A and B are shown apart, each in its own frame.
Chain A
Amino acid sequence: MNQAVYLQTSQHSSMSFKQLLNLYRLEAKFEWLKTIRNPAFALPAILFPALFYVFFGVVMNQDNIQAASYLLCTYGTFGVMGPALFSFGAGLAVERGQGWLDIKEASPMPGSAQIVSRVLVSMGFSVLILLTLGLVAGLLAGVTLSVGQSVMLSVILILGGLPFCLLGLTLGLLLKAESAPAVVNVIYLPISFLSGLWIPITMLPSFLQSFAQFLPPYHLAQLALKVTGQDVGGRVWMHIAVLALFSVTFFATSLWAFNKK
């Protein structure tokens, strides 16, 4: 009588391709709604890069279109890093602290759905950030990029957010909810400055210019500056290789952090 209950046949425990697709779609959709409905996150993420750009690229830099287009590339880099680091880093740490991730972990949600949806949301924010920056650059700073250049720049920056998503993921898994936003800022702001995102890298002292080689935002900004021909002349494949290396490293650290907790 005491027979064990085995798993039900596959039709009860496996998901069709269509069901899985729907799962990822809804996860991404609700991750997006959850984030965009939080004005304390969404407004600064979208408006800060544009605001900084208005100060440094428009107001303080009168009529120098070269400088304005340079700063468009670097503030674009600065902009896409924000949601990547914060949505993953701070957002994940908060949900983890609340015990909400425990519920998700106990459910059959694939872990990758959580990661894919957050990457897509970061990319969605990148699009909004680049649109506002583009508008400011075009209307107020008089920057003129061809359609091809605009598309190229957008693609580079949107895809280039990936290593920062993975860095954010590591931080989100390691940090406590209360301290996460502060720690993320302590990383985000200095590496942005040291990578030449706020003032051009060539204006930094030479030892800082050498140090910038070790920072991922520097390489993303250099790739972006290739589009306007204003980079310092590094090779494209080298920048891509460094960013890929950082992505792999941060992915490994996030796996380590996940298993550690």
Chain B
Amino acid sequence: MQQHAVESISPTSSIISVNHLTKSFAETKALNDLCLDITSNRVLAILGANGAGKTTLINILLGRLQADSGDVSVFSSKAGNQEVKRQTGAMLQVANLPETLKIKEHIQLFQSYYPNPMPYEKVIEYAGLAELQNRYSKKLSGGEKQRLLFALSICGNPKLLFLDEPSVGMDVESRQSLWRAIRDLKSQGTSIVLTTHYLQEADALADEIVLLKQGKVIKRGTSEQIKASVSSTTIRFHSQQPSEVFNALEGAVQVSSNGKYTQIQTHQVNQTLKALLNQYADIEDLTVSSAGLEDAFLQLNDDNSGELQ
């Protein structure tokens, strides 16, 4: 049965389609004419500063909020429809779980909500909860609680999985094992929509990244494409000179000093480097690096042109 279901999804088929979605709370527009198409068998990361509309979007996709205008369909059905929910898993941010149930009881209960639940052992293994099965949820640390919420989100063998800030409070080891589980689920045919504040997480997991700002998609692409769209390169070095003098260098866009280091952002690395080394003799500890996802994120988010796309 499971095999059949997986085969029937072709790799590029659309799972979620969002057209001209608008949602306001009081006077603020949380989502502003947002369009987004999400295809199957991929990990999509939604990034954006607080208030960019991530949570609103997820809640609408789950059918928990109604949009003011525009339309949303999930598996070509209405979002939040019972049949859709049975193929969807959601890990949302929760302050506390009912304290007097054990981990295994929480999982058994959620398994019963789905027509084809994932086998118990597999859930436990994915979530790394083997040692904690009999622990009451009262006694869980922040990271352990996240692992339980992840377990509950995958109980139903979802075709579509929403993960809202999944690795908050997790230690490095748990995070690595969560990432392994996400990659594994994807390879089994689950499509994953992820929001995160850890850009490293998006970089490591996402096939595609969507940048939201003020309720609009301002950039969409692979991690590489997004990094490449920010063409600046950073030259960092140590020098006795006051940082202002480097503003005059050819190609320098922005100069900043950070402790004992000076940083120059440039669009013309060769020219800037040549000028720098020719004019100043005391340059030490020189490194040149292209923009990481974080630089790209910050720069794109700072750009005032909300219409970048």
Identify the stretch in B91-99, B205-213, B223-231, B289-297 within 8 Å (CB) of chain A at 4 or more residues: B91-99
List chain A residues, Cβ under 8 A from B9.
5
Least Cβ–Cβ distance between A77 and chain B, in angstroms:
28
Identify the stretch in A18-26, A128-136, A140-148, A250-258 within 8 Å (CB) of chain B at 4 or more residues: A18-26
Q: Majority SS of interface residues in chain B?
A: loop
The verdict on B75 contacting chain A, using a C-beta distance below 8 Å, is yes
Which positions in B face A, CB cutoff 8 Å? 1, 5, 8-10, 12-15, 17, 39-40, 62, 64, 73, 75-77, 82-88, 90, 92-101, 105, 108-110, 112-116, 149, 152, 156, 159, 162
Interface residue tally for chain A (C-beta within 8 Å): 38
The verdict on A187 contacting chain B, using a C-beta distance below 8 Å, is no
Residues in A1-19 with C-beta less than 8 Å from chain B: 1-8, 11-16, 19
Residues in A86-136 with C-beta less than 8 Å from chain B: 95, 97-100, 102-103, 105-110
Give me 17 other A-B pairs in contact (C-beta within 8 A), A2-B14, A4-B15, A106-B85 excluded.
Answer: A1-B13, A5-B13, A5-B14, A5-B15, A6-B75, A11-B115, A12-B5, A13-B83, A13-B115, A14-B115, A26-B109, A27-B109, A34-B98, A35-B100, A106-B64, A107-B152, A110-B82
A6-B76 CB under 8 A given contacts A13-B83, A102-B92? yes
**Chain B residue with minimal CB distance to A107?**
B113
List chain B residues, Cβ under 8 A from A108.
82, 85-86, 113-114, 156
List chain B residues, Cβ under 8 A from A100.
94, 96-98
Docked-complex contact A1 and B149, CB < 8 angstroms = no
Contact of A34 among B14, B76, B100 (CB under 8 A): B100
Which of B95, B114, B156 is packed against the most chain A CB atoms within 10 Å? B114
Docked-complex contact A105 and B5, CB < 8 angstroms = no
Distance between Cα atoms of A27 and B97 in the complex (Å): 15
**Chain B residue with minimal CB distance to A41?**
B100
Docked-complex contact B83 and A7, CB < 8 angstroms = yes
Which of A3, A7, A16 is packed against the most chain B CB atoms within 10 Å? A7
Docked-complex contact B100 and A4, CB < 8 angstroms = no
Docked-complex contact B109 and A5, CB < 8 angstroms = no
Least Cβ–Cβ distance between A108 and chain B, in angstroms:
4
**Chain A residue with minimal CB distance to B149?**
A103
List chain B residues, Cβ under 8 A from A97.
95
Docked-complex contact B14 and A7, CB < 8 angstroms = no
